[in-house]
Amino acid sequence: MSSNSLNAVLVFLILSGNRVGLAVLNAPRNVRLTSMNMNLVLRWDSPEDNTSGILYTTEYKTSVAMYHVGCVNISTLECDFSSLNIPLSLYGRYTGRVCARRGMDISPWVESNNITMDNDSIIGSPNVVLFSNGATIEIAIKDPAFAVSELRDVYSSATYNITYWKDGQNEKAISIINVLQNRVVLNKLDPWTKYCVKVQINAEGNSKVSKPSSTVCESTTTETKSQWVPAVVTFFIMTLTATLVGIAVVYRKMISHLLCPQDALPSPLLATSNSSHDWDMQISPNPEEMYNSVRVIAVQ
């Protein structure tokens, strides 16, 4: 029998649970099913005896279906079901199991705990970026990437717990909880002071808050930077607008004539049409014609 055929038979025996005629290998230990950011990973420890040459086969199932094949004949101590293009349910309840094989020796199946994806999946750390603007600091928060769907598709009411403090004064930290926005401005900060921020996600429907973000620090600058500049710009725009409106009201007639002139004859034509000569021409129906008599003499 070829090696490929032998492997096929062994895989069939493993998946069918039939170990007739085969020696029993010690089973994998500490089998657990975990989820981080909506993935689904089965992990375990190797058997207690000699672990060289051992291969593992895994399966998974839902609460309403039988076991399905996962990873087959792998040497690593974990199988990521979510990387196998398996149609995982965001709200499904899953269980996994694993068995070991070395040559013709096969271990019993060992079943894991079961987990419900939306309730038991651990939410990873959000990404936090700080922007200093005068005596304020703006916090920009980005949700962790999920293996299946997006965080807001699973936890539509997720909020942020924000903690901030002056650098070196952790014991005086201030917390802001249940924040809906992913951009938050911290006001009333001391100028020229370094502040540190940490954020966690609180997802309704999940039994645990997320892993905390990395601590990010940023320094404020002068307290007048963000106060007088917008005020001056706003005052200038309002003054200019009021001036233009006043001019338009006072000179509205002039502006109206300038933009929409009436149809009239130019003044030179009006002056010419009012001359005395033209007036005489208009009142005299048969003006006298001026001429000289001419006598014609024939020469013979």
Q: Is the pTM of this model over 0.75?
A: no
First to last CA, the chain: 157
Maximum Cα interatomic distance, the chain, rounded to a whole number of Å: 167
Mean pLDDT (the chain) is: 81
pLDDT of residue 22: 56
**How far apart (Å, rounded) are the C-alpha atoms in residues 154 and 143?**
12
pLDDT of residue 7: 46
Lowest average pLDDT, out of 80-89, 149-158, 256-265, goes to: 256-265
What digits encode the pLDDT tens for the residues 94-149?
Answer: 999 999 999 989 999 999 999 999 999 999 999 999 999 999 999 999 999 999 88
Domains of the chain: 3-120 (2.60.40.10), 127-225 (2.60.40.10)
What digits encode the pLDDT tens for the residues 269-289?
Answer: 444 445 445 545 454 555 555
Instruction: Phi first, then psi: give them for residue 55, nearest 5 degrees.
Output: -120, 150
Q: Given the structure tokens 């699973």, which residue do they identify?
A: 154
Does the structure show a pLDDT above 50 at 3? Answer: no
Strands 41-45 and 29-34: antiparallel
**Hey, which residues does 132 pair with through a beta bridge?**
137
Does the structure show a pLDDT above 90 at 183? Answer: yes
pLDDT of residue 21: 45
Name the range with the highest mean pLDDT among 111-115, 239-243, 259-263, 276-280: 111-115
Does the structure show a pLDDT above 80 at 78? Answer: yes
Q: Per-residue confidence at 205, pLDDT binned at 50, 70, 90?
A: confident
In what order do the strands lie in the sheet containing 136-142? 127-133, 136-142, 183-186
E strand segments, 46-190? 55-62, 68-69, 78-80, 93-102, 105-106, 110-116, 127-133, 136-142, 159-166, 174-179, 183-186
What digits encode the pLDDT tens for the residues 191-201?
Answer: 999 999 999 99
Residues 17-24, mean pLDDT to the nearest whole number? 54
Q: What is the DSSP string of 217-248?
A: EEE---TTHHHHHHHHHHHHHHHHHHHHHHHH
Does 2 or 187 have the greater pLDDT score?
187
Q: Between vectors from CA 61 to CA 60 and to CA 67, what angle results, nearest 5°? A: 80
Token pair, residue 168, equals 């070196």
Instruction: Phi first, then psi: give them for residue 195, nearest 5 degrees.
Output: -115, 150
Lowest average pLDDT, out of 38-42, 208-212, 234-238, goes to: 234-238
pLDDT of residue 297: 54
pLDDT of residue 166: 96
Cβ neighbour number for residue 51 with a 10 Å cutoff: 15
Q: Per-residue confidence at 19, pLDDT binned at 50, 70, 90?
A: very low
DSSP 43: E
Mutual angle of helices 225-250 and 252-259, in 10-degree steps: 70
Report the share of the chain in percent with pLDDT over 70.
Answer: 72
pLDDT of residue 66: 92
**How far apart (Å, rounded) are the C-alpha atoms in residues 37 and 48?**
31
Does 91 or 232 have the greater pLDDT score?
91
Q: Name residues whose C-beta falls within 8 Å of residue 173's C-beta, 6 or more positions apart in sequence.
A: 163, 164, 165
For residue 184, give the 3-state DSSP assignment.
strand
pLDDT of residue 107: 95
**How far apart (Å, rounded) are the C-alpha atoms in residues 81 and 40?**
5
Does 274 or 174 have the greater pLDDT score?
174
